[in-house]
Structure 1
Amino acid sequence: MEDLQTLTHESIELLKQLISIPSFSKEEEETADKIAEYITAKGVLIHRKGNNIWCYNEHFDKNKPTILLNSHHDTVKPNPGYTNDPFEPIVENGKLYGLGSNDAGGALISLLTVFLYFYDCRTLKYNLCFAATAEEEISGKNGIESILGDIGELDFAIVGEPTLMQLAIAERGLMVIDCEAMGKAGHAARNEGENAIYNAIADINWFKSYKFPKESSLFGPISMNVTIIEAGSQHNVVPASCKFTVDVRVTDAYRNEEVLEIIKANIKSNASARSTRLKPSSISPEHPIVQAGLDLGRKTYGSPTTSDQALLDVPSLKLGPGDSARSHMANEYIYLDEIEDGINLYIEMLKSILI
């Protein structure tokens, strides 16, 4: 095993380099190059597809289960409120400033450090696969979803996102539903036609008041909010169509497809989901990796935000240094000791099940 203090120092230097390279979603080629260069210099064989990089522990055994250690290296565009240069890694009062430092650079380099720490260990009970992936911020199809078939069978995953190193054992899914209420055009002065807006109102009221029978123990009820509405062309024409959009945050009590069918069965408007890809996800509180975290004083919670967990079909735990409240904020930062503590906690948790 490589010296942990050296690995931690090197990984923080890598994070500074990543901050200095713009890596907006779909534009991550240069950060992928930098990550690949760093891992290759450690003597590790990498695999690459698009802007996704992944690798396995030295003594990979196909007869053992595999743990995925995953985080992303794309960022959103900088908040207009920045007073710092978002691409200049500045260390001040123990904080590392820069775009992507907190979301999710700190988690990314922490998981990479952990992977390299265990890389050449011969006595692991599990294989390790580290993956630095693209397009997480836009849930893009050229991110982690594009390499799952190449990575191979997985047992469970740790997804690195800023959680203050608390255990996010479930995550809401997301569906965006496009609806269209139909009517019949007519002249408003003569009270002709059938007003599609009035037809839409009935369905909108259903979205506002409906309570799904099952509730999540972590999240409570599914939430549905109408967020966009569009109808009419001029003041004296009764509209024949009214389109509206619904933001649906699905919990672990239902699959996305089940929620969509319930919606269709209860409204008169035509309804279609833009995608059912972003699934609710969870891992049992009794899972060994969760129990390892609890034994180290961590707490479990349900995360309201969406990550690459939504695209995984295996149990997954969202866990990482940094604070979700800082994500996408101006002058984004992460504390250096959060990274150091995060690395140590990841290692202690994994030791309890790996060795």
Structure 2
Amino acid sequence: MIQELTQKAIDLLKSLIEVSSFSSEEEKSALLLEVWFKYHNIPCTRTKNNVWSIHKDFDSSKPTLLLNSHHDTVKPNNGYTKDPFTPIIEEGKLYGLGSNDAGGCLVSLLATYTYFYQQHNLSYNLIFAGTAEEENSGPNGLNSLLKTLPHIDVAIVGEPTQMQLAIAEKGLVVFDAEITGTPSHAAHPNNNNAIYNTINTLKWFQNISFEKTSKTLGDVKLTVTQINAGKQHNAIPANVSLVIDVRVNDKYTNQEISDFLQKNAPCDKITPRSLNLNSSSIQKDHPLVQAGINLGRKTYGSPTLSDQSVLNCPSLKLGPGDSKRSHSANEYIFLDEIKEGIELYIKLLEKVLI
């Protein structure tokens, strides 16, 4: 059965590659997930472009385990030399947009859920959710679905981790900042040039460090990623705008980082876009993690953001593929990674569910 499910999962991934499923435009990929459930006679529900299913033996007295991954993609970059919407297999690699992030994880978790759907007397309830708008942190993804789903006690979030155990994930806060000065003609003296005023601000951001270091996630990482000022060569602008990307470890809340920067950053204004994308983690002694360790998997802290950030329960990020390939030109996943992913997901859950 596992071999058959693996081949069907690969075929589904090929079909997913062939359809456009940019964030907020996932109608076609959501339909493909519905077709899978219908073919396997498993009831499912579609909420906007989120497709989810609850195991038929759901028992509210048992804890609930969510299997989640996303089916939206970013847009292909200009570096592609292969058609991003044509599934191409070469040397054991399946090329195509979304193959690695996170199509391989999605179809592997879907095959795993299908495998366990006919089994009875599980120690956990199982829910599968293939969700939308992960890549753009949109309002109609997993975050919107949580109020519809039963209470979730623990989750596996499918993202490419080479099937290693990401037991913690950094949060994210993006800030918009402004440095002001006196606008004037470039030909006249001006001791309050907003662009020059920005130099010290940039140095402050470059040198800032946060005291608390996480054992799994390391330091908070702050990076100025955008700067914009001026519209013409002969006019000194009134202000300079900056965008600051802050990756937050599990020793701070996003609110604490925001409060600190708003109090101390040498800017005339600094405002967080959102405080909702918090760091997440799961204890190393959790049965899911221990089951993975017993299968020879290693634990680590992930610097990248996923739908873990919207969950209010312990969550483990785990999936086939390599995060370094995500959003890259000629994205691919090895077919053997999908095979290994399904086998390991099943072995992991057998140690926990049975």
Q: TM-score range by the shorter chain?
A: over 0.9
**C-alpha distance in structure 2 between counterparts of 1:188 and 1:9, whole Å:** 66
Q: Residue in 2 aligned with 1:352?
A: 351
Q: Residue in 2 aligned with 1:86?
A: 84
Q: Residue in 1 aligned with 2:147?
A: 149
**C-alpha distance in structure 2 between counterparts of 1:314 and 1:90, whole Å:** 38
Q: 1:79 to 1:204 in 2, by over 3 A?
A: closer
Q: Which amino acid aligns with 2:317?
A: K
**C-alpha distance in structure 2 between counterparts of 1:268 and 1:83, whole Å:** 44
**C-alpha distance in structure 2 between counterparts of 1:228 and 1:105, whole Å:** 30
The partner residue of 1:201 within 187, 194, 199 is: 199
1:134-145 matches, cutoff 5 A: 134-145=132-143
Mapped pair 1:163 → 2:154: no
Q: Residue in 1 aligned with 2:281?
A: 282
Q: Residue in 1 aligned with 2:296?
A: 297
Paired positions, count = 353
* Displacement after TM superposition at 1:155 (Å): 0.6
Q: 1:77 to 1:236 in 2, by over 3 A?
A: closer
Q: Residue in 2 aligned with 1:59?
A: 57
The answer to whether the Cα contact below 8 Å between 1:185 and 1:193 also exists between their aligned partners in 2 is: no
* Displacement after TM superposition at 1:233 (Å): 5.1
**C-alpha distance in structure 2 between counterparts of 1:342 and 1:136, whole Å:** 21
Q: 1:227 to 1:91 in 2, by over 3 A?
A: closer
Q: Residue in 2 aligned with 1:319?
A: 318
The partner residue of 1:254 within 252, 255, 259 is: 252
Query: CA RMSD, aligned part only?
Result: 1.9
* Displacement after TM superposition at 1:331 (Å): 2.4
**C-alpha distance in structure 2 between counterparts of 1:192 and 1:78, whole Å:** 45
Other structure's SS at 1:151 match:
coil
The partner residue of 1:10 within 8, 11, 28 is: 8
Q: Residue in 2 aligned with 1:340?
A: 339
**C-alpha distance in structure 2 between counterparts of 1:255 and 1:60, whole Å:** 34
The answer to whether the Cα contact below 8 Å between 1:187 and 1:193 also exists between their aligned partners in 2 is: no
Q: Deviations over 1:304-334 (max 9, x none)?
A: 2111111212111111011112222222222
Other structure's SS at 2:172 match:
strand
1:222-261 matches, cutoff 5 A: 222-232=220-230, 239-261=237-259
**C-alpha distance in structure 1 between counterparts of 2:164 and 2:148, whole Å:** 30
The partner residue of 1:218 within 216, 219, 234 is: 216
Mapped pair 1:176 → 2:147: no
**C-alpha distance in structure 1 between counterparts of 2:173 and 2:217, whole Å:** 16
* Displacement after TM superposition at 1:231 (Å): 3.2
The answer to whether the Cα contact below 8 Å between 1:321 and 1:339 also exists between their aligned partners in 2 is: yes
**C-alpha distance in structure 2 between counterparts of 1:194 and 1:87, whole Å:** 52
Q: Deviations over 1:188-243 (max 9, x none)?
A: 66645633334433333221112111111123221112222233455665543222
Higher mean Cα deviation, 117-126 or 78-87?
78-87
Q: Residue in 2 aligned with 1:96?
A: 94
Q: Residue in 2 aligned with 1:74?
A: 72
Higher mean Cα deviation, 194-203 or 133-142?
194-203
Q: Residue in 1 aligned with 2:309?
A: 310
Q: 1:82 to 1:208 in 2, by over 3 A?
A: closer
The answer to whether the Cα contact below 8 Å between 1:114 and 1:347 also exists between their aligned partners in 2 is: yes
Q: Which amino acid aligns with 2:12?
A: L
1:40-51 matches, cutoff 5 A: 40-51=38-49
Q: Which amino acid aligns with 2:302?
A: S
The answer to whether the Cα contact below 8 Å between 1:175 and 1:250 also exists between their aligned partners in 2 is: yes
Other structure's SS at 2:138 match:
coil
The answer to whether the Cα contact below 8 Å between 2:249 and 2:279 also exists between their aligned partners in 1 is: yes
Q: Which amino acid aligns with 1:31?
A: S
Q: 1:81 to 1:191 in 2, by over 3 A?
A: closer
**C-alpha distance in structure 1 between counterparts of 2:18 and 2:226, whole Å:** 37
Higher mean Cα deviation, 27-36 or 325-334?
325-334
